[in-house]
Amino acid sequence: MAINRRNLILAAGSLAANAAPVFTAPGRTQAAEPPTRWTLEADVVVVGSGASGFPASIVAREAGNSVILVEAQPHTGGHGICSGGNVPLGGGTRRQRQYGIEDSPDLVFRDLTDWSVVEGNGSADYRYNDREIIRAFADNNVATFDFLEAHGVVFVDEAPNPQGGESVGNSVPRENHAAVMDWPMVQTGRPADPAVRSKLSSGNGLILPLEAAAHKAGVQVLTGHRMTEVYRRESRSGPVLGIAVDNQGRRIDIRSRRAVIIATGGSSGNVDFRRMFDPRLTEEYCGIAGMPWSDQDASGEMAAMAIGASLWGACNYTGEFGFKITKAGAIGAQYIYSNLRWEPGSPVFHLARAIGLRVRDWQNLILVNMLGRRFYDETAPQYSANNYDVVQPYTYASWRNLNAVPYKPRAFIDAALQGIGDGHNGGGPIWAIFDSAAAAREQWTPRPPYVDYDQGFFFSANSLADLARSIRMEYQRLPMQPETLEATVRRYNGFVDAGADADFDKPSPRYKIAKPPFYAAWATPVVHDTRAGLRINGKAQVIDMHGAIIPRLYACGEAAGGFSQHGLARATCQGFIAGTHAARETQA
């Protein structure tokens, strides 16, 4: 490929000549005073270089504005680059027309605001979506799809389908898949196998072409610059003037002549912030999807809240549908989201430390809480989400749709987060217990780089009692009692003999845990993404606690609330919308 990925990331200059002393991190409740002197200036300042930030930057730059994009990490891409590259844009896209799929903006809007679509546990996918935000999304789907293709994104040449979709609408298939092509993958540090490059869906195939397009357009990208303040003319009134960022302990003040766009990616990595929505999500849920490449630290939300911004759509965060919290897809490492594996060639593998052991068959292990007790059927699935043709038959806004989905709670996540009855809000560590025979059946290699012994995410011993005694790590609040783990395994082995699980109805327990050495592998649920954030309107303008627009401030993607859909369509489309309207602001 003509553009080398290594040449795309601009070095973050020290800018020391105009920098001020070290200052406090974001999280303050009062707004900071604007500076009398600015270090840098641009028409539009975008915060975050992911699936929202790059589209916003490109659109604003191509409209004739100077654009500075700041990114907290030393590299670009955000959570979007770590994703599966699934982009559910519909409304009558070129690809839908190519394959004879009839769709329209009105149908997208109807699908994503249908109160009658529910999951088997009664949770509603679309009921709490903000109608103004969904209308704007529906009306900009086609334009966003065309924008992505025009800026180098190549979609796998196949009909839109349901694969990878969550809460994307029941009526027609809309999921497109960004092909990785020749771009290197951050998960491995190298390009994909040439035989699958045009067929493999990957966030690298979405973000890296957009990054190249941003540089080509003349967007100034500053990595290693973490936003800490949004400046407003008065603390709670007047237009937004710019931002402060922290670059290696030095403050840099950046003026925005037209607008600031917050595309920081959400709050899943900020324990105290996410617990406003779900008190159960305490510190032991430390394997956030997308980390350690990108940390959703709520810095955008907190900086905007300090100048009066409101949060919005909390129910879409707490609703028990979709992949907001997921079952572990691998075990034995800190970062074990099912659709992301960090390999030794990755530039962040020194932070990830282990690949993890991919679980094929939940029959080969049991899951226990920190006390060593089982708590649910190991084979049980996580929360479900609506997708194309899930509700059959389907009639828009019909009460009969409620009957089309039988009541069948998927309670694995809730059982895992229940805890041990010690008054702690979180569920504590979940451990996968298995033996050497299970490792052989699964073809696992229970040693580095597949598992993380050093940081306490994997343990082994020649007896179950010694295994229990060995489990000592940061999040294990109470020691696991050897006799408890021994009794749990003994009882489970009895279920294997009986062919039935009398405790949790695990289907036909197959394998005893009996052959040393024995293993305990981290298998704690994963916090995946954020679906509540700053209140915005259809133009992606941020709204304050009194329902008024905060002039010259925009938000998009996971930093914005009011939209239940997971993923890249919401992010790219809202970035497109924010960039379009920010570019039209009158220059200050």
> pLDDT tens digits, residue range 253-312?
999 999 999 999 999 999 999 999 999 999 999 999 999 999 999 999 999 999 999 999
3-state SS assignment for residue 541? strand
pLDDT of residue 235: 85
Enumerate helices (H) and strands (E) in the chain, giving the number of each: 16, 22
pLDDT greater than 80 at residue 30 = no
Query: Which part of the chain has CATH 3.90.700.10?
Result: 328-380+431-522
Q: Which CATH number fits domain 37-81+207-319+530-582: 3.20.20.70, 3.30.390.30, 3.50.50.60, 2.60.40.650?
A: 3.50.50.60
Look up tokens 């500053």; give the residue. Answer: 222
CB 297, CB 559: distance < 8 Å: no
- Rounded to whole angstroms, the Cα distance separating 107 from 537 reads 20
Omega before residue 162 within 30° of 0, cis: no
3-state SS assignment for residue 118? strand
- The CB-side HSE value for 400 (13 A sphere, CA atoms) comes to 6
Residue of 20, 545, 58 whose CA lies nearest to 245: 20
The predicted-structure confidence for 476-521, as pLDDT tens digits, reads as follows: 999 999 999 999 999 999 999 999 999 999 999 999 999 999 999 9
Query: Which part of the chain has CATH 3.50.50.60?
Result: 37-81+207-319+530-582
Token digits of residue 349? 């593998």
The predicted-structure confidence for 201-237, as pLDDT tens digits, reads as follows: 999 999 999 999 999 999 999 999 999 999 999 988 9
Residue of 541, 53, 558, 52 whose CA lies nearest to 317: 558
- What is the value of pTM for the model shown? 0.94
Q: Which CATH class is domain 328-380+431-522?
A: alpha beta
pLDDT greater than 60 at residue 7 = no
Q: 542 vs 283, 293, 548, CA distance in Å? A: 30, 27, 9
The predicted-structure confidence for 564-578, as pLDDT tens digits, reads as follows: 998 899 999 999 999
The predicted-structure confidence for 433-466, as pLDDT tens digits, reads as follows: 999 999 999 999 999 999 999 999 999 999 999 9
- Rounded to whole angstroms, the Cα distance separating 267 from 296 reads 5
Amino acid at 152: G
DSSP 488: H
Amino acid at 30: Q
The predicted-structure confidence for 179-201, as pLDDT tens digits, reads as follows: 999 999 999 999 999 999 999 99
pLDDT band per the 50, 70, 90 thresholds, residue 18 = very low
CB 246, CB 225: distance < 8 Å: yes
Q: Compute the mean pLDDT over every residue in the chain, rounded to the nearest whole number.
A: 94
